[in-house]
Amino acid sequence: MTAPLVELKNVTKRFGEITVLDMVNLTIFEGDITTIIGKSGVGKSVLLKHIIGLLRPDEGKILFNGKQLKGMTRKERKSFKERISYMFQNNALFDSLTVFENIALPLREKTRLHEDAIRSRVLAQIDQMELSEVTYKYPSQISGGMQKRVALARALVTEPKIILFDEPTTGLDPLRKNAVLSMIVHYQKKIRFTAILVSHDIPDILFISNRVAIIDSGRIPFQGTPMELEQSENPVVQQFIKGQASLKDELTGLNTRRDIKKIFIQEMERVNRLHESFPVVMFTIDNLEQINEHIGYIAAQQIIQCLGMLIKEHFDTTGTSARYSQNDILMLLPHTGLKEAKQVLDELATDLQKQEIFQAKSYPKACFSFSILAGPAEARPGMDLDSLIKQALSHQKTIAHIECIKHGETT
């Protein structure tokens, strides 16, 4: 096992009479996306502020690569601060500086780069975040979603190794929420930073996290992978998940992974009892990264949303569908035959191709390839969901695609 990057050991913090953090133990590993989830006002932000050093614990210690912040030499502390970055819940943009100046500030103040180099680096970041139109506007003149992106750009511009995100998606609509999350994942893969997120957006946040920690009543009753979280028998975790997880996936309006697992178990009991079978279909959006890169994060989320809605429209009477992961939608068709399922799938494919969003002509200036795959499989007695999904994935065929032949021309 790799050594932890950040370790909180018995951290306690009190504000007057109130104990906000009570002997908190938390481990964060390098290169992971760790999400801290919890109800409002339980001390999630306080925990994050302890990690970056804005607050100091009353008791306990916080170790970075095994060293305490207060025990570091000046040089070590400086190098630690250079490696860490923080995105505030309310963005904390400098409201008397323009978007450009906001993003350039950490470079101007903390590096010895020449103004030309700073300019090109900031403009590249602005371009990537699709903020070119608002480069010289002030934070109060741009929308909330754009402000979030400016804050993200400011956090990323110094290419830090650790980024702390304090509720990066709060107050955004489902489309933009998912766009911000996929943006975080995209940059995390690209720059390989360690991300620590605070959020209460379940289940969206679980799709992108490597590790999850729950904070409740000042303590951390659970920390582990999202899979371990779903399987945890811990009553606090169970209660928390039930109370916090939204009933439907916000973006697509489909069920959640947790729901479909439950339905699958129920249906398999029937299948095992009556020795029947039923089809399942796994949809995958392939190369969504290219849409993120060439068209934009919101467009990518619109594609997921559109696919989800069409699936719901076509299969709602016969089956149950759920967003299984960020790019996958799983569908169970318990009272249908495989043949019928394939027929509806064909109808869906025709319908998909008619949608403007899946047509190359909607993107005249971009050159990218992406496809939507669908694969059926048959659930027979004794099978488990994982092997069924594997089977469905191996049978996947393209039902809609856009392919770039040469620059500026798409089919």
Q: By the criterion CB under 8 A, which residues form the site for another protein? A: 49, 52-54, 78, 81-82, 84-86, 88, 90, 92-96, 105-106, 109-110, 158
Neighbours of 270 (CB within 10 A): 12
Please state the closest distance from residue 30 (CB atom) to another protein, in A: 20
Which residue, 167 or 249, is less far from another protein as judged by CB? 167
Which residue, 82 or 293, is less far from another protein as judged by CB? 82
Please state the closest distance from residue 81 (CB atom) to another protein, in A: 4
Around 145, how many Cα atoms within 13 Å sit in the side-chain half-sphere?
16
Token readout for 397 is 């065929």
Which residue, 90 or 132, is less far from another protein as judged by CB? 90
Cα distance between the two ends of the chain? 47
Which residue, 4 or 106, is less far from another protein as judged by CB? 106
Please state the closest distance from residue 180 (CB atom) to another protein, in A: 18
Which residue, 114 or 365, is less far from another protein as judged by CB? 114
CA distances from 176 to 118, 148, 173, 182, 325 (A): 29, 10, 5, 10, 17
Please state the closest distance from residue 101 (CB atom) to another protein, in A: 13
Please state the closest distance from residue 46 (CB atom) to another protein, in A: 13
Which residue, 166 or 204, is less far from another protein as judged by CB? 166
CA distances from 193 to 88, 189, 309 (A): 17, 8, 34
Please state the closest distance from residue 144 (CB atom) to another protein, in A: 14
Please state the closest distance from residue 183 (CB atom) to another protein, in A: 20
Which residues does 254 contact at the CB level (< 8 Å), separation at least 6?
Answer: 248, 308, 311, 312, 321, 322, 323, 329
Which residues does 282 contact at the CB level (< 8 Å), separation at least 6?
Answer: 324, 328, 329, 330, 331, 374, 375, 377, 389, 392, 393, 396
Distance in angstroms (rounded) separating the CA atoms of residues 10 and 24? 5
Neighbours of 346 (CB within 10 A): 12
Which residue, 47 or 241, is less far from another protein as judged by CB? 47
